[in-house]
Amino acid sequence: EVQLLESGGGLVQPGGSLRLSCAASGFTFNIYDMTWVRQAPGKGLEWVSSIRANGVETFYADSVKGRFTVSRDNSKNILYLQMNALRAEDTAIYYCANGLRAIGDWGQGTLVTVSS
C-alpha cells in the first residue's frame, strides 16, 4: 500500500522558514517524479513544485520561485520542501504526491500557518 506521510508544518512568523518532509513507502520511490501541491483554507488546489526521480530537474510555481527549494533523498525515501521568506499567502495545507504529469497518490497533508 502506498503511503505518503508529510510532516514539518506549523505556525511561523512572516519572513520565517520551515522545512517540510514527506516519507514515502509502498512504491519504488527512486523511479517516481514527486510533486508538492497546496490548498489555502477553503480554496482550491495549487501546484507548488515538482522534482524528477533522479533529483536533478526541479520545477516551481512563480509564486514560490526563489523562496522554496524541493529536494529528495532517494536513499531514505524522503521528499523535502524548504520554505524560506514565508508570507501570509503561503498559509495552506501542503500535500506531497507521487507523479508529475499525472499526479497519483497523495499524502494527508501538513498545515503551514504564516502569521504574526
Partner 1 sequence: DVVMTQSPLSLPVTLGQPASISCRSSQSLVYSDGNTYLNWFQQRPGQSPRRLIYMVSNRDSGVPDRFSGGGSGTDFTLKISRVEAEDVGVYYCMQGTHWPLTFGGGTKVEIK
Q: Which parts of this chain interact with partner 1 (CB under 8 A)?
A: 35, 37, 44-47, 50, 59, 61-62, 95, 100-109
Q: By the 8 A CB rule, do 49 and 62 touch?
A: no
**Residue 101: CA count within 13 A, CB half-sphere:** 0
SS3 percent helix, strand, coil of the chain, rounded to 5, is 5, 50, 45
Task: Please identify which residue in the block is written with the cell numbers 497518490.
Answer: 105
Return the number of the residue (42 or 75) whose C-beta is nearest partner 1: 42
* Nearest-approach distance from CB 21 to partner 1, in angstroms: 17
Our CB check for partner 1 shows the closer of 38 and 72 to be 38
Closest approach of partner 1 to the CB of residue 115, in Å? 23
Q: What residue type is assigned to position 64 of the chain? A: V
Q: How far is the CB of 63 from partner 1 (least distance, A)?
A: 9
